[in-house]
Structure 1
Amino acid sequence: MTELSYRMVEMPIRSGAMRRWVAHLRRQRDPGPRRIIATGAAACVGLVAFAGVNMATAELKQNDIQESLEDADDFVATLPPTLPPTLPPTSISDGGPTQTSGDPSPTTPATPGATTIPSTTDVQGTEPSTEPTESPPTSVVPTTEPNSTAPSAPSANRVAIGDSVMKGAAPALVEDYDFLVYAAESRSFDAGIDVVEALDREGALGDVVVIQLGVNQNPLEQSDVDRMAEALEKVPRVLFVTNRYAKDYVYGQNAMFRALPERYANIEVLDWADVGNSCPGECYYGDNLHLAPDGMEFYADQIAEALSLE
């Protein structure tokens, strides 16, 4: 409709065609053309107003999506701080939690009770005492208590890894079903593999892992999907969630996901591309992809039902 307004209203006005046409009608004695002018003017005003409202609504819808993702920030887990330096920071920070590059150099604590060996002569040039140096009191022995400010590794048995679609539902997944959610905006499938491998090295994958990724990566190769599946082979239950997005490349990805249970005994599939169409209420924002409030709850409930969780 915005394009129609541009072609039928703005362009004729700019070229002068509208002005010449109106002048011609005004010269006519018949009152009919004047009514045409009035009707046309009203229609033009309506088109312009509609276009303006449409643009404002589109911006509002985008703001709604962003606000919902910001609301979910407090429910999204951060990755363990002890990621190996060999893990490319950009692969996980691509829309995901920010990672620091490299590990801090550890400092070696002083050995309790260690003493300084005296020099052979003192400042006055006299011979040093041969008496043994008194050991420091036990009260100054360095404590072995861990730093209370250091974040601990995740310990949840239920882990969910995804992109912004899953992130929107993070509050429901966390509060209703005790998931630890690693979801980030714009996360690609390959970046998700890096997250899985990093959590695996930390022993933090848990007994149940849910994966929903792919929309942010085109093309996605079968080798990428297999690499993800192999990284999850030690997890007892893995649930792949298909993507509900009307794009040809997504249809191809979903086909690969649906075939996984035939090759990997620990993998199940929730066909969100199909199930998501039966969501009741206000389920999606204007892009028909990101989840609105009713959709967030329905999404979390469907994952829990697929895994028989309570």
Structure 2
Amino acid sequence: MVTALGFEGSANKLGIGIVSNGKILSNCRRTYITPPGEGFLPKETAQHHKEHILQVLKEAIEQSGLKPENIDVICYTKGPGMGAPLATVAVVARTVAQLWNKPILGVNHCIGHIEMGRLITGAENPTVLYVSGGNTQIIAYSRKRYRIFGETIDIAVGNCLDRFARVLKISNDPSPGFNIEQLAKKGEKFVTLPYCVKGMDVSFSGILTYMEEKTNELLGAGYSKEDLCFSLQETIFAMLVETTERALAHCNSREVLLVGGVGCNLRLQEMMGIMCQERGAKLYATDERFCIDNGVMIAHAGAEMFKTGVRMAWEDATITQRYRTDEVETVWRDD
């Protein structure tokens, strides 16, 4: 049995969680929220994490009912992500590991999402759609790696939604994507937007540029903010469903797993569910507790690594902003 403590801080969510033998003991989080029309910058985000991390750590320990001596390994997000927030959280993780005399493991953020999704849903070997503010990938497991079948060639789907929310001055509380989702439910008129799928890859920058340039014109022509949110969601989600379906067919898979912050969007789940039903496949998804960046996903992935003998030297306990999903050898999986 391995009990792991995980630190996550690759973007604007600071999360700390504890997992023991697949059982979640605590999952605490703080989100850095900026004013409407603004994004979050690395320096300010890192400052937010620095100010709150010790309090969140205290909460996670208290919620778990454990003491430091009960923890077997300290895990932290090595990457990918924003440099300053990653570094801030990694410093605390290294300090805690040294103070408590525990081994430390750097975890790939994307792998954390996938393993958390598999744990919560019970999906065995799914085709994975990983969609968040910083990442968009279609992934399938093969021969000790999570292989990337398709991805965005420019910006991530969550980044596209976030930046469009800024155009409309939509609130960032609790998240711009969530608020776009609520507005989209009231949309009635569909605007035809650029649809850009290139083989197994997708592109969102052209759609975003089109919306940035045309929003005022469309609002003046009788379209509402709700209509624009509805049209954007339908278009970009259709692109994701198309590429995921192609990967599903190629892998002869019967499972689709949605992970990442955008994965808790109910309209995306609905569209993906319809596709899965038509193909005789099953959709697996989680709610915002585990879809959105959290510390327990890092703890769980780290625990899986630790159980199978993965160890990290202190000099390797660094961060990297670019850390590909397929760089990690999944030694904990033997299927």
How high is the TM-score relative to the length of structure 1? Answer: 0.27
Larger relative strand fraction: 2
How high is the TM-score relative to the length of structure 2? Answer: 0.25
Q: Bigger relative contact order, structure 1 or 2, given CA contacts below 8 A and separation 6+? A: 2
Instruction: Report which of the two structures shows the higher radius of gyration computed on alpha carbons.
Output: 1
